[in-house]
Amino acid sequence: MNTLSTTVPLSSLGIGSICQVVSLNLQGLLRRRILDLGMVPGTPVQCIRKSPSGDPIAYLVRDTLIALRSEDASQITVNLTNQY
Amino acid sequence: MNNSNRDEHHRFLHEHFGITTRLGQFTVALAGNPNVGKSTVFNALTGLHQHTGNWPGKTVDNAQGNFTYLDHSFLMVDLPGTYSILAHTVEEQVARDFICFGKPDATLVVLDATCLERNLNLALQVMEITSKVIVCVNLMDEATKKNININIPALQKELGVPVIATAARNGVGLDKLRQGLYEMSIGSCIGTPRQIKYSPAVENAIQQLLPNITRVIGPNLNPRWVALRLLDGDQAFIKSITSYLGLSLIYLQEAAV
């Protein structure tokens, strides 16, 4: 873990940026769903593209492209990293 | 199973799952994430001997097919493609309920060789419910193209259940799959699925719940799995237990919380 890295909401990531999941501030069904797709703390995530309106946003997680609403992505805290 | 149990189970499958088994026929559940080639495996094994309908009371497709291996007949039930059996979409409930209450003689979990990590989630979840699991790592040809090398014996050792590599669309590995399903169904191959170990707090809570769960549920379900669902506060599952087994676990849940 890079102790100097900053934690930001996943929704704030620019296209092409890579980060690592720190925590999910989600509850219930959505939390379960996100975990089931393999987004657990420590998982590398890359922002791939955003829809014209900026919502939803496509992320690459474990070689799979996942679209998230920006509202939900804002509840996922990540560390900015430049390496896997 | 003795004869009266078998008749009862036959009726149960028909009533709850719309499944008609023939005398002495084994049932195999087919699970897997979406897009892992599950249907290809299903078609390759059952050929034209299949029919589709709906799960009773659900707007979810239910495909069933037959195949024969060494003079034994198998009914394969194609479950909806899901990433999990813990969230509560209708598809996931159908898949979970059949694996839990339909008591298949074997559950085949199909994984995508090109993204094993994400797929193993479902395999581990199924392994928490039943020990009669066979893992099929499909799309091996795709993996080879992507220079992904999978150590099947090592994976089998880690999981504690048979792992069979296939490229179903080319027919590769299907015979081994049939053989594996046969050996598990007749009981000559017994898996010891690796169980997820939780935090000490959760493990302690499980231990406290087990005696009561075992007393109430009897041999119907895996008690550890039921304890986990109670701790999860999984209302939908508790409802399922009531409707399939006619048992109320409400007071057990109160004890859990």
Question: How far is residue B58 from each of residues A82, B16, B51, B62, B107, measured CA to CA in Å?
Answer: 47, 11, 17, 10, 21
Q: Do A36 and B117 touch (CB under 8 A)?
A: no
The answer to whether residue A62 neighbours chain B at the CB level (below 8 Å) is: yes
Mark A24-54 as b/e (b = at least 16 C-beta within 10 Å).
Answer: bebeeeebbbbbbbbbeeebbbbbeebeeee
Interface residue B114 vs chain A (CB under 8 A): yes
Each residue's pLDDT tens digit, B147-156: 999 999 999 9
Residues of A in contact with B118 (CB under 8 A): 37-38, 61-64
pLDDT tens readout for residues A46-62: 999 999 998 999 999 98
> Whole-angstrom Cα distance, residue B77 to residue B74?
10
B81 vs B220, residue with greater confidence: B81
CB atoms A62 and B84 under 8 Å: no
Select the residue of A29, A36, A63 nearest B121 (Cβ to Cβ). Answer: A36
Which one-letter DSSP state was computed for residue B172?
B
Name every chain A residue with its beta carbon within 8 A of the beta carbon of B236: none
C-alpha span between B137 and B116 (Å, rounded): 8
A38 interface with B at CB cutoff 8 Å = yes
Quick one: what percent of chain B has pLDDT higher than 90? 69
Q: B84 CB near a chain A CB, below 8 Å?
A: yes
b/e map B3-38, b = 16+ CB within 10 Å: eeeeeeebebbeebbbbebeeebbbbbbbbbeebbb
pLDDT digits (tens, 9 = 90+) for A1-44: 555 568 999 999 999 999 999 999 998 888 988 999 899 999 99
List the one residue out of B209, B185, B216, B172 whose CA is nearest residue B37.
B172
DSSP, collapsed to helix, strand or coil, labels residue A20 as strand
A4 touches chain B (CB under 8 A): no
Contact B174, B69 (CB under 8 A): no
